[in-house]
Structure 1
Amino acid sequence: METRHATCHCGAVEISAEFPEGLASARRCDCSFCLRRGAPAVTALGATLQVLRGAENLTLYSWGTHTAKHYFCKTCGIYVYHRRRSDPSQCGVNLACIDGGNPRTHAETYGEIGWSDGVNHPSDRNA
């Protein structure tokens, strides 16, 4: 378990959270939103996520079931983190916002960034 900090591009927003697998859990998602956003996310425990600075500078984007809640900096527009639809007790934090996180060099230490099948999310299937 690692505790790490993350910031948006302009520094107005700073968060911290516990990451059960460190940066090794980085994944990309191919749902309609994440595919366009393009940022890999690292799994954090939602109960540990704290906005240390700039809560008033975060803006929320949500759609569909409104279970997933995506937070962006109002100033620089960077996606910082989101509450997961697949497990609302978890958050995904933008790998590139995390201190020491870099999608370009991630594979050198942790392996290739995998994909989550957001297109076929269980919540979207007919009962």
Structure 2
Amino acid sequence: MVDYQGSCHCGTVKFEFSTAEIKEGLRCNCSICRRKGAVMLPQALSSEQLKIDDIGSDALRSYKFGTEVAEHFFCEKCGIYTFHETKREPGKFRVNLGCVEGIDVFELEIKVFDGASL
């Protein structure tokens, strides 16, 4: 297991998690993910695995649409999407790898998930 830290662009929202070494990313073709263009952690994390720093957590805002099951979180100060609660696995989260320290999303193998068909 590797410990990872991440944050939004301005550093107000901070989070951490542990997982196997990150070697690939995931993109989704649903309407919001197409527009965000983010590369996400392929596996979903439980709420116990994703630790959000209490300082700055009040700056987190969320957006829901459609079925309102998935919840997309972003920083109210800089607007950066940090993570979201998944539609397929409510209570589990995927992290925006562009927010994770030491990860270069341009060097990862990227898989595409067909979220548009859900």
TM-score, normalised to structure 1, is: 0.83
Partner of 1:96: 98
Q: Which residue of 2 aligns with 1:49?
A: 50
Task: Measure the CA separation in 2 of the matches of 1:83 and 1:3.
Answer: 20
What's 1:117 paired with? Answer: 114
Percent same amino acid at aligned positions?
Answer: 36
Q: CA deviation at 1:37?
A: 0.4
In terms of fraction of residues, the more helix-rich structure is: 1
**Counterparts of 1:66 and 1:3 in 2: how far apart (Å)?**
31
* 1:105 aligned partner: 107
**Residue aligned with 1:39, SS:** coil
Give unmatched runs, 5+ long, in structure 1.
107-111, 122-127
1 CA distance for matches of 2:111 and 2:105? 12
Cα–Cα, structure 1 residues 35 and 67, in superposed 2: closer, same or farther, change >3 Å?
Answer: same
TM-score, scaled relative to structure 2: 0.88
Larger radius of gyration: 1
Gaps of 5+ in 2: none
**Paired residues of 1:46 and 1:90 also in contact (CA < 8 A):** yes
1:58 CA displacement: 0.6
Q: Which residue of 2 aligns with 1:62?
A: 64
Instruction: State the structure with bigger RCO (CA 8 A, min sep 6), 1 or 2.
Output: 2
1:27 aligns with 2:26: yes
- What is the root-mean-square deviation in Å for CA atoms of aligned residues? 1.5
Per-residue deviation, 1:91: 1.0
Q: CA-to-partner distance for each residue in 1:47-91, whole Å, 9 max, x for gaps?
A: 211211311011100111111111001111100000111112421
Match runs of 1:65-76 below 5 Å: 65-76=67-78
2:101 and 2:70 mapped to 1: Cα distance? 24
Aligned length: 115
Q: Secondary structure at the match of 2:117?
A: coil
